C-alpha cells in the first residue's frame, strides 16, 4: 500500500463507530421504576468459575436523549464473556420531557439500589448479596461517582472511564455545547445548589474504592479533570487511583477491540479482587 493510502486508512478509522456497533441481545430486560426509561438490560456471565459481583454499566453521551444504553452492548457482552454478570442501566436524559435535573440523578441512584435484586430474580443463580461494581463512561462516569458519593452502601466499587469529574469546569469549557447547563438548568452562578449536590469535585471524600482510567488523547473530556479529581480525592483519604493511558482517546475505553480494552479489563479485575470476597458457596450461574 502506498504511504499516502496508509495515511488515509488510518485517518478514516472513526473511534465513534463503537456507538453504533451491534451486539448480541441481552438475556433479559428489567424495570426498576414505572417510567419507560427506568430499565436495564441484563447479561448472564459466560462459562464456569467463581461467583462475581454484578457489574452495572452506566452509559455516557453527555446525559443527552440521543445516546442510550444500546451503545454499551459490545462492552457489556465482552464483560459477560469474561464471567461477569452485567446490567446496562438506562435513565431519563436531557431532551426528554422528564430528563435532566433531578430525574437523571435520581434514576441512577434508584437503579443501582434495585438492580442486584432484580438481576438475581431475573437470572437465577446470580449473587445479589454483594454491592455491585459501577463502570461508568464519560457522563456515566460522573453518574457513577455521584452514586458512590451519595449512596455508598449500594456500591462495592467504581471504575470511572474518562468521567466528567468536574461539572463547573465542564460548564466553563462548554463541553458538548452546553451539556452541563442542559442537565442542571444553568451554570454554577445560576443554580449553585444543584452543582453543590451533583458535582464530583465537591464530593471527593468517600470510602468507595475507585479506579479512574482516562486517555491522554481524549478530546471530549479533558484528562486534567481526572487528574484533579483523583488528586483531591486522595488528599481527602478516598481510596482512588488514576490510570492514564498515553495513546488512548475517548471511545477506546468502551470498545472491546481497542488497544485500551485490556487495560480496562485489568482495572476491573484488580478492583473486583481488591473488594471483600463473595461467599464461595454462592452460585454464579
The residue ranges of every structural domain in the chain are 17-273
What does the radius of gyration of the chain's CA atoms come to, in whole angstroms? 18
pLDDT at 285: 39
Provide the pLDDT confidence category of residue 275 given band limits of 50, 70 and 90: confident
- Stretch 81-95: mean pLDDT, rounded? 96
Hey, what's the cell of 225? 479533570
Interior/surface letters 57-96, b for 16+ CB within 10 angstroms, e for the rest: bbbbbbbbeebbbbbbbbbbbbbbebbbbbbbbbbbbbeb
pLDDT digits (tens, 9 = 90+) for 208-257: 999 999 999 999 999 999 999 999 999 999 999 999 999 999 999 999 99
Q: What is the H or E stretch that residue 20 is in?
A: none
Phi and psi at residue 93, to the nearest 5°: -130, 165
Cell 446490567, residue? 87
> Domain 17-273 class?
alpha beta
Amino acid at each position: 500500500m502506498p504511504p499516502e493510502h496508509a495515511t488515509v486508512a488510518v485517518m478514516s478509522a472513526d473511534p465513534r463507530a463503537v456507538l453504533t456497533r451491534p451486539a448480541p441481545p441481552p438475556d433479559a430486560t428489567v424495570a426498576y421504576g414505572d417510567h419507560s426509561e427506568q430499565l436495564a438490560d441484563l447479561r448472564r456471565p459466560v462459562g464456569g468459575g467463581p461467583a462475581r459481583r454484578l457489574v452495572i454499566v452506566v452509559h455516557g453521551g453527555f446525559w443527552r436523549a440521543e445516546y442510550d444504553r444500546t451503545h454499551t452492548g459490545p462492552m457489556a457482552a465482552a464483560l459477560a464473556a469474561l464471567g461477569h454478570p452485567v446490567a446496562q442501566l438506562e435513565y431519563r436524559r436531557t431532551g426528554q420531557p422528564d430528563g435532566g435535573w433531578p430525574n437523571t440523578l435520581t434514576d441512577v441512584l434508584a437503579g443501582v439500589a434495585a438492580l442486584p435484586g432484580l438481576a438475581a430474580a431475573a437470572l437465577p443463580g446470580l449473587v445479589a448479596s454483594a454491592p455491585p461494581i459501577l463502570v461508568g463512561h464519560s457522563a456515566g462516569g460522573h453518574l457513577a461517582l455521584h452514586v458512590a458519593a451519595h449512596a455508598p452502601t449500594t456500591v462495592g466499587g467504581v471504575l470511572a472511564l474518562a468521567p466528567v469529574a468536574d461539572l463547573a469546569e465542564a460548564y466553563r469549557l462548554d463541553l458538548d455545547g452546553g451539556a452541563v447547563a442542559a442537565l442542571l438548568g444553568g451554570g454554577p452562578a445560576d443554580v449553585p445548589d444543584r452543582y453543590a449536590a451533583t458535582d464530583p469535585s465537591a464530593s471527593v471524600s468517600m470510602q468507595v474504592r475507585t479506579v479512574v482510567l482516562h486517555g491522554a488523547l481524549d478530546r471530549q473530556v479533558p484528562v486534567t479533570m481526572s487528574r484533579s479529581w483523583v488528586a483531591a480525592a486522595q488528599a481527602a483519604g478516598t481510596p482512588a487511583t488514576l490510570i492514564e493511558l498515553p495513546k488512548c482517546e475517548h471511545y477506546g475505553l468502551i470498545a472491546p477491540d481497542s488497544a485500551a480494552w485490556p487495560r480496562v479489563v485489568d482495572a476491573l479485575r484488580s478492583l473486583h479482587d481488591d473488594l471483600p470476597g463473595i461467599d464461595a458457596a454462592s452460585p454464579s450461574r
